[in-house]
Amino acid sequence: MSGSGTGLEGFSAIVTGGGSGIGLGCARRLVTDGASVTIVGRTEERLVAAVAELATLAAGGAIVQHAVADVTDEDAIAAAVARATEPTGGLDAAVACAGGSETLGPMTQMDTDAWRRTIDLNVTGTMLTIKHAARPMAAAGRGSIVGISSIASARTHRWFGAYGVGKAGIDHVCQLAADELGASGVRVNCIQPGLVDTDLVGFVTAGGPVLDDYLENMPIARVGTVEDIAALVRFLVGSESTWITGQVIGVDGGHHLRRGPDYRSIVEPIYGPDALRGLVDPS
Residues belonging to the active site? 163
Cβ within 8 Å of residue 172, ≥6 positions away:
none
CA distance 250 to 91: 26
The full DSSP string for 97-108 is -----S--S-GG
CA distance 125 to 131: 10
Cβ within 8 Å of residue 238, ≥6 positions away:
6, 8, 33, 144
Kindly tell me the sign of the dihedral angle through the C-alpha atoms of 100, 119, 162, 15: negative
What Rg, from alpha-carbon coordinates, does the chain have? 19
Distances in whole angstroms, Cα of residue 264 to Cα of each of 17, 85, 130, 260: 29, 46, 36, 12
With vertex at residue 67, the alpha carbon angle to CA 198 and CA 187, rounded to the nearest 5 degrees, is 75
CA distance 192 to 154: 8
- The answer to whether 250 and 232 have CB atoms below 8 angstroms apart is no
- Partners of 147 in the β-ladder: 96, 190
* Strand ranges of the sheet holding 36-41, from the earlier edge strand across to the other edge: 64-68, 36-41, 12-16, 93-96, 143-148, 186-193, 248-251
